[in-house]
Amino acid sequence: MLRIEGLSAGYSSKPVLNGVSINVEAGQFVAIVGPNGAGKTTLFKTISGILRPSAGRITFGDIDLLAVPPARRPHLGIAHVPEGRQVFPSLTVMENLEMGAMTEAGQRGWKQNIERIFEWLPVLAERRGQFAGTLSGGQQQMLAIGRGLASSPKLLMLDEPSMGLAPSTADFIFEQLIQIRRQSGLTILLVEQRVAEALETADHGYVLEAGRVVLEGNNETLRADDRVRKAYLGM
């Protein structure tokens, strides 16, 4: 579904990403883990079109994604849930979800999507009339995920969904992502610093360090790797 080949990108003449190659198959749950500054958020910004790469290719299905304007990429089925949630604080929960449904597919599937979002994330149904800025951090994260789901995505990209959350709230969000994937077959690409939870949840993982992929494999392979165990799992 998503193929990234030899991608280099950054914010100045010195790239943050250096020749990154990643493959995400339809229906997979893929995790990208690594330390701060590894380039994980830069990768997502490049896929979404916020950043223009200096080298490499990104294809989505059979489409050259780099030839598609950033504003059109959500209409292809790519939803980006950004780091830090970035909900619209002065809009209600329902209005935030409606903003996510501005794609053609989101408009067509609104009724079914909102029912499933409220089923997966019931706090959003309970607080549908509440201003997003008054929600807790965990509730805002659930709203950001719900807003992404409202677009009827084929690929849901999640950037650090556990950031700043209590462990119990982060655990709940991981559990719901597993349920969403199981029930919908949605393809999920996750960037996360909670490495143990990310690798346990995902089918396949990539370890990104200093802008390069240094390891990849299925979750069992990565969790058994001595470098991953020592550097990220505290073992």
Asked if 87 contacts 93 with a C-beta cutoff of 8 angstroms, the reply is no
What pLDDT score does 34 carry?
A: 87
- pLDDT of 146: 98
Question: Same domain for 68 and 23?
Answer: yes
pLDDT at 234: 64
pLDDT score for 16? 95
Per-residue pLDDT of the chain (235 residues; tens, 9 = 90+): 999 999 999 998 788 999 999 999 999 999 999 888 889 999 999 999 999 999 999 999 999 999 999 999 999 999 999 988 899 999 999 999 999 999 999 999 999 999 999 999 999 999 999 999 999 999 999 999 999 999 999 999 999 999 889 999 999 999 999 999 999 999 999 998 888 888 888 999 999 999 999 999 988 888 888 888 877 766 5
Domain boundaries, position 124: 84-152
What pLDDT does 36 receive?
Answer: 84
Asked which of 127, 152, 177 is the last residue of a domain, the reply is 152
Residue 32 and residue 18: Cα distance in Å, rounded?
15
Q: Is residue 55 part of a domain?
A: yes
In-domain check, residue 172: no
Closest to 93 (Cα-Cα) out of 151, 152, 134: 134
C-alpha to C-alpha distances, 46 to 9, 11, 43, 67, 106, nearest whole angstrom: 7, 11, 5, 13, 23
pLDDT at 224: 84
Pair (144, 89) in one structural domain? yes
Nearest to 77 by CA among 9, 140, 157: 157
**Per-residue confidence (pLDDT) for residue 20, from 0 to 100:** 97
Whether residues 44 and 159 share a domain: the answer is yes
Same domain for 158 and 46 = yes
Q: How far is CA 86 from CA 49, 65, 99, 141, in A?
A: 17, 24, 12, 9
> How many angstroms separate the CA atoms of 145 and 132, rounded?
13
Q: Are residues 70 and 97 in the same domain?
A: no
| 90 located within any domain | yes
Same domain, 33 and 48: yes
